[in-house]
Amino acid sequence: MSIGQPRARNVALATLTLFVVCASPPPSAQPAPNGVEPRPEPVVAEPPPVAPTPQAPPMNEEEQQTIVLLSDLQRYASESPDDLRRELSAANQAVNRARTEANRIRLAVLMTMPAAGAPDDARALALLDSVVGKSAATSPVKQLAAVLYIQIAERARGLAEERKKSAAAQEKLDQLRAVERSLLLERSRNAGGAGGGGGGGTGK
C-alpha cells in the first residue's frame, strides 16, 4: 500500500465521523425520575403599591375656638327664654373678665335675641366691629364676626325703616284726627251760633 492510501482513508473516516455527528439529533431532555414531569413554579404577582391616605392638617387653637363658638351660637337658637337670660348674664360676666374675641361674639349675638331681653343692636354691632377691626387678617373668628355684623346691620336697617314707616303712618293718622277734631269743633261752633241768632230774632 502506498503512503497516499492511508492518508485518503483517514480523510474519508474523518469526513464520515463529522457527517454522523452533524446528522445525529440533539440530545433530548432527560425524563424526570418516576416519570413525573416537574411543574413550573407559580409566578406570584406582587400587589400594587397602596397610596398613602392624605391626612388633614391638625387644627390650630383658633380654629378649635371657632368650632366651639359656632356650637354655642347654634345652641342659643333652641334654648328657652330663661336659659337665654342666664346665658346673657354669663356672657356679660365673661366679657368683663376677659375681652376675648369669642366672648365678645357670644355677647353680641345674645344681645340681639328678643327672648333674652330687650335687643341692643347698636352695642352688638360695636362689639362685633371691635373684633373685625381694620386689619386685613382673615382668621376664622374674624370672618365669623364679619358675617354676623353684616346680618345684624341689615336687620337693624330693616327695623329702622319699619319704624320710620310706622312713625310716618302714625303722623298721618294724628293729622287726620286733628282735622277731624277741628271740623267737629267748627261744626259745634256753627251750631251754637245759629241757635243764638234765632233766639235773638224772636225776642224782638
Report the distance separating Cα 147 and Cα 141, nearest Å: 10
Residue 11 in this model has a pLDDT that exceeds 50: no
What percent of the chain is modeled with pLDDT above 90?
42
Average pLDDT over residues 118-147: 89
Q: What band does 144 get if pLDDT is binned at 50, 70 and 90?
A: very high
pLDDT of residue 48: 73
Res 124 pLDDT > 60: yes
Residue 202 in this model has a pLDDT that exceeds 70: no
Q: What is the pLDDT of residue 70?
A: 94
pLDDT top residue among 6 and 113:
113
d(CA 180, CA 196): 24
**Cell 497516499 maps to which residue?**
4
